[in-house]
Homo-oligomer: A and B are copies of this chain.
Amino acid sequence: MEIDYVFEALASTPRRKILAYLSEATLTAGEIAARFDMSKPALSKHLKILEQAKLISSERKGQFIEYRLADKNMMVSLTNMLATFCPVGSGLKKESTAIARSKDKTTKQE
């Protein structure tokens, strides 16, 4: 599922740090890498994972590649996440409700 990529992407301290760096500024891959104690290829992988999750987007500018937050998509994903865990129905939630109801009935019979 699509949301899986978002959660996987967020489950990494360096990746969340990248998002924080991009929260206000647009930065090139090199500018981001300069802020981490990690090789450029390693950073590149993190950027790829964030981009696959649609949390960031990239645009080539000459020999540079600029990265920026794709915050609209992030908001959609996070909102969906909230919708899953909080009131708004999914199949699992309905089943959970049904379980609660049957348990309640059993308890009252005793």
A19 to B90, CA, bound (A): 12
From B1, B16, B78, B95, contact of A21 by CB (8 A): B95
- A71 adjacent to B92 (CB under 8 Å): no
From B7, B12, B20, B87, contact of A96 by CB (8 A): B20
How many identical chains are in the complex? 2
Name the interface size band of chain A: 35 or more
- B25 adjacent to A99 (CB under 8 Å): yes
- A25 adjacent to B86 (CB under 8 Å): no
- A7 adjacent to B4 (CB under 8 Å): no
From B21, B26, B82, contact of A92 by CB (8 A): B21
A100 at interface by CB-CB < 8 Å: yes
